[in-house]
Amino acid sequence: MDFVCFGADGLPLRNPVSYRDPYTTHGIMERLFARMPKEEVYRRTGIQFMNFNSLFQMAAQHEAGDSAYHQADKILFVPDALIYMLTGQAVCERTILSTSQLMNPETGRIDGDLLRLVGLKEHQFGRLVMPGERVGELLPSVCRQTGMKPVPVIAVAGHDTASAVAAVPAVSPDFAYLSCGTWSLLGVECPQPVISQQSFDLNFTNEGGVFGTTRLLKNICGLWLLSRCQEEWSDAPHDVAQLIDEAMSSASCGTLLNPDDPIFANPSSMNDAIVAYCNRTHQQVPQGYAQTTRCIFESLANRYREVIDMLRGLSPVSISRLHVIGGGSLNKALMQLTAEATGLDVVAGPSECTAMGNILMQAFSQRLVDDIWHLRKIVANSVDLQYYKH
């Protein structure tokens, strides 16, 4: 979601702002919808509404009169900014653009009316490129600093989930994927975007994938809940495996949190937020770090079930199994709970899908990979996968 403002001299005007920093985005969605209705924004973009989407960050900076923003010669998303600093080539890679809530997925171009709302022009974003496209070579200045030769620089799927989904070790299209980490991103791979009243009501997103595919998915607040709780627990074991063992040995309190409730977005105390949520929803408060950890795992698994049920009603994809990738795929307890909650067999791994997808799209640019299924076969033959029965 984040971007860098560059001046006409090619240098950053200031450091980019993190999407978790609510500096001016509070209330910005409502103010923008007063200028273009929410339904119209979704019809044009097909993107899930979150107040830190690039569209709303830009609207906030435009509204606040941010000097770097208004003097920017180029606005480049973070992956594009890295390419620019390496090559001097200003590009706008499709997968990262698609998440910004600025791109029309039907045309693959930036929506001009949305740009006007945030005071920008299309030429500020650089030329549109697809994953696997060779952008240029390392600049002479970079070669001098690093001692490297002018090697080619490839535009990979710049959005990390797009790279990760590219490397899902599936053998056929009838799967859902779950990129499991701080965020949980649960969806299916579609040939075309799904933009309808139902997808709008359920707040699903249509993001660009490799080889022209669309990732129909929902963002779920994932293991962020646990990591924030761990920061506060002084008596909990530091070893994650031991914490998980203790959690699964504890009795379930039966409480189910909605991980996507705004109360869990970035509270000063995640433990206090869990207590407040339980009190508000008239559920038992989990006691101690072990029971709280188990409650978080059970709540995530239940949320995955809910979203898969939504996907079955939304997408043309038949879902017969769930591929889980990312660091969370190593959590055996969460994987088994997910299989039981969703009623799907779970294939877990690899944990480093993003890096694999990145590397293999570079291999595709060198004609070492034929297509998405060749790419996925390479991944499947390169790692040990774990299987969980429902």
pLDDT of residue 23: 64
pLDDT of residue 106: 86
All domains in the chain, ordered by first residue: 3-155 (3.30.420.40), 158-390 (3.30.420.40)
SS (H, E, C) the chain: CCEEEECCCCCECCCCCCCCCCCCCCCHHHHHHCCCCHHHHHHHHCCCCCCCCHHHHHHHHHHHCCHHHHHCCEEEEHHHHHHHHHHCCCEEEHHHHHCCCCEECCCCEECHHHHHHCCCCHHHHCEEECCCEEEEECCHHHHHHHCCCCCEEEECCCCHHHHHHHCCCCCCCCEEEEEECCEEEEEEEECCCCCCHHHHHCCCEEEECHHHCEEEEEEEECCHHHHHHHHHCCCCCCCHHHHHHHHHHCCCCCCCCCCCCHHHCCCCCHHHHHHHHHHHCCCCCCCHHHHHHHHHHHHHHHHHHHHHHHHHHHCCCCCCEEEEECHHHHCHHHHHHHHHHHCCEEEECCCCHHHHHHHHHHHHHCCCCCCHHHHHHHHHCCCCCEEECC
Q: pLDDT: is 108 or 302 the higher one? A: 302
179 band by pLDDT with thresholds 50, 70 and 90: very high
User: Once rounded to an integer, what is the mean pLDDT over residues 299-321?
Assistant: 97
User: Once rounded to an integer, what is the mean pLDDT over residues 47-64?
Assistant: 94
Does residue 139 have a pLDDT over 80? yes
Please tell me the pTM assigned to this model: 0.92
pLDDT of residue 265: 87
pLDDT of residue 22: 65
For residue range 14-38, what is the model confidence (pLDDT) as tens digits? 999 888 776 678 899 999 999 999 9
User: Once rounded to an integer, what is the mean pLDDT over residues 218-234?
Assistant: 96
User: Once rounded to an integer, what is the mean pLDDT over residues 177-203?
Assistant: 96
Looking at the annotation, which residues are catalytic? 160
